[in-house]
Amino acid sequence: MPRTVLDTERLLSLAGRPLSASALDDLLFASKAEVEGHDGTALTVSVTPDRLDLLSEGGLGLYLQGVLRAAHGIPSYRAAPTEDLSAGFEVDRSVEPIRPAIGGAVVRAPKGRSLDAGLLVEAVRFQEILHSTIGRDRRAASLGIYPVDRLEFPVRYSLEPMANVRFVPLDASEEVGAVEFFRDHPMAQTYGPLGRAGDSCLALRDARGTILSLPPVLNGRAAGEARVGDRELLIEATGTRERSVAEAVGLLLVAFVAQGWSISPVPVSRPDGSRSDGTPLVHGHSVDLPSSVLRGLGGESLSAAVVERRLAEARLGGHPQPGGWKVDAPPWRPDIMTAVDVGEDVLLAEGVRPEDGLLPPSRTRGRLRRETLFRRHFASTLLGLGLAAPHTPLLVSESTVARLGGEAPLHLRNPVSGEFAYIRNRLLLSHLDVLAHNTRHGYPQRFGEVAPVVVASPGSDTGGETRYHAGLMVASDTAGFAEAAALVEYLLRTVDVAAVREPTEVPGVTRGRAARARVAGEAVVELGEVAPALLSELGVPVPVAWAEVDLTALWPLVARLDTA
């Protein structure tokens, strides 16, 4: 789970009430954030990946205001567009092949206040968290914060020859050329390829020609350095998709909105002549919440007054409509996409705790299902064969899927990171990662586990079906098809079944050294030798035997034998 360290004093000042460490722990226990430790004024918090707003002082402060009933509903933050923003961003056609999306907003301090050191540090800290999550290490989106009084609209976004670009980097004091910057600067070494095409680089320039930044690498100091005392800031994001840009900007805004700053959208003019006023990026969105969905999730009917109170405590807006409610979500809540998401917030607003559970009257206590015992039998057998259990995650990376090839598994609609972008459809994907991560250890390596996979199922509500597989790998000088076949035969013999093998082709497995095994006509096993080219790519110096048993397919066949 994503984790960060917040300032407890600043957080409680937003909450509007002093709280002991234990009281704060209890309040966050019922949310999607969890306290992992207190160290003086430092508060370590982890959150579920869908609630990145709670990784900021602003987002967590708004949540605490709601549960403490110090404030309710969506904070008032919208400011009318002003004439000085009418020019906005001007997008050049040259950026389209590299990083075409851009969006932003201007945030203004409340009357009599300005940017303080604490808020500046918090905004930059949260900005970097968004770079590594929503932004996928700046590949999908990157953010910039600029002082409005040191730039002049319109801001032009284009791909410029590096020979024409000179600026003072944010962390330097002397002007450098872009060629020198991309060659020598450490941040350009890391992120430069994302903002370059040949001898040209992406640049944001204001109407006076001043470089604001070279996206997605670094701001310029002249017009790209926010300072304590600034009263108006431009929050900008560029990226590969409009959605990623909107989510990144929307999430960063919460750091300022929680402190009472107002927001004005920045228009965007496109090279095809189209123009957006920028309001969708800052005005949030609405989701329908049918009463039937809420009743199905919570197991009880809730009155309209209770639902609207809980929505207000969750810092959402709710309005009755026939059959349910229309719920308004702010821009820092991109996780609110369906009625189920809203229903979850309604239930969490009341607090879901272990003591809420009831044990129904019964003469007996529950016991494990026979199918669960069946799966545990295979897990114990793998362990007994001397195979270590790696306990791999269900989600796999884009690079892992691309490396194996073949039919792609299900892709997450909005993954937090490219490292967790797909849901594996076979354990082979995860076990190849295990091999790659353990090349520094000696051989032989033998491991296996019983774990879930998700396969495509167009007829289901979610589009996928969870199944359980038993997978194993043996990496050694002598590993081969015969060893995989022997292990499969032993595993099946422990449940009194025999299989018939037939040749097949499996992505990532050597052709002619792969097989499928059937029991009573049902395909339940795949096995073979991992392709040498793939092993070379992984850095594995020895042959690898692999086998995978579909326990979900095998169980009905075994259960049928037990009842025959």
Please state which CATH number belongs to domain 3-67. Answer: 3.30.56.10
Residue 452 has pLDDT above 90, yes or no: yes
SS3 483: helix
Where does 370-563 sit in CATH, by number? Answer: 3.30.930.10
Mean pLDDT to the nearest integer, 376-395 = 94
110 near 261, Cβ under 8 Å? yes
**Residue 439: what are its φ and ψ, rounded to 5°?**
-70, -20
A 10 A CB-CB count for 5 gives 14
The CATH code of the domain at 83-282 is 3.50.40.10
Q: In this model, does residue 155 exceed pLDDT 70?
A: yes
pTM of the full predicted structure? 0.68
Q: Assess contact for 326 and 339: CB atoms under 8 A.
A: no
CA distance 560 to 564: 6
Q: Cα separation of 54 and 46, whole Å?
A: 9
Whether the predicted pLDDT of 550 surpasses 90: yes
pLDDT at residue 358, rounded to an integer? 64
**Tokens 């991309």, residue located:** 182
Asked, colleague to colleague, whether 3-67 and 285-352 share their fold, the answer is: yes
CA 337 from chain centre, in angstroms, equals 15
Give the chain's end-to-end CA distance (angstroms, integer).
Answer: 47
pLDDT tens digits along 211-269: 999 999 999 999 999 999 999 999 999 999 999 999 999 999 999 999 999 999 999 99
Q: Which two tokens stand for residue 308?
A: 């609207």
Query: Above 60 in pLDDT, residue 354?
Result: no
Q: Which pLDDT band, with edges at 50, 70 and 90, does 350 fall under?
A: confident
* pLDDT (tens digit per residue) in 474-495: 999 999 999 999 999 999 999 9
Task: Classify domain 285-352 at the CATH topology level.
Answer: Phenylalanyl-tRNA Synthetase; Chain B, domain 1 (3.30.56)
Q: How confident is the model at residue 416 (pLDDT cuts 50, 70, 90)?
A: confident
- Tens digits of per-residue pLDDT, 359-373? 667 666 677 889 999
**What are the boundaries of each domain within the chain?**
3-67, 83-282, 285-352, 370-563
| pLDDT on residue 84 | 60
Report residue 143 as tokens.
């953010």
Question: How large is the average pLDDT for residues 283-302?
Answer: 89
For tokens 């096995």, what's the residue?
527
Q: Flag whether pLDDT at 349 surpasses 90.
A: no
Q: What is the pLDDT of residue 539?
A: 93
| pLDDT, mean over the chain | 91
Q: Which of 123, 143, 121, 122 is nearest to 132 (CA)?
A: 143
Number of Cβ within 10 Å of residue 204's Cβ equals 26
- In the structure, what pLDDT confidence band is assigned to residue 352 with cuts at 50, 70 and 90? low
Structure confidence at residue 359 (pLDDT): 65
pLDDT higher than threshold 90 for residue 82? no
At residue 373, the 3 state secondary structure works out as helix
Q: Contact 60/6 with Cβ under 8 angstroms?
A: yes
Nearest to 204 by CA among 181, 237, 171: 237
Burial of residue 34 (number of CB atoms within 10 Å: 0-12, 13-18, 19+): middle
B/e letters for 159-176, b = 16+ CB within 10 Å, e = fewer, are bbebeebebbbbeeeeeb
Determine the pLDDT at residue 322. 93
Asked if the model's pLDDT at residue 327 lies above 60, the reply is yes
Region 303-331: mean pLDDT is 92
Q: What is the pLDDT of residue 535?
A: 95
Among 80-94, 97-111, 347-361, 530-544, whose mean pLDDT is lowest? 347-361
Q: Could you tell me the CA-to-CA distances from 150 to 204, 219, 226, 557 in Å, in that order? A: 14, 13, 9, 73
pLDDT mean over 88-104: 95
What is the reported pLDDT for 499?
A: 93
- Kindly indicate the confidence band of residue 496, based on its pLDDT and cuts at 50, 70 and 90: very high
Question: Beta-strand (E) ranges in 254-323?
Answer: 262-265, 268-269, 275-276, 285-290, 317-321
Residues 6+ apart with CB under 8 A from 278: 88, 103, 104, 105, 265, 266, 267, 268
Residue 348: predicted pLDDT? 85
Tokens read off for 256: 């300022």
* 232-239 vs 141-147, strand pairing mode: antiparallel
**How much of the chain, in percent, has pLDDT values that exceed 90?**
76
pLDDT band, very low/low/confident/very high, at 3 (cuts 50, 70, 90): confident
Which residues fall within 8 angstroms of residue 216, CB to CB, at 6 or more apart?
99, 135, 138, 141, 142, 191, 194, 195, 202, 238, 239
Mean of pLDDT values over 150-161: 95
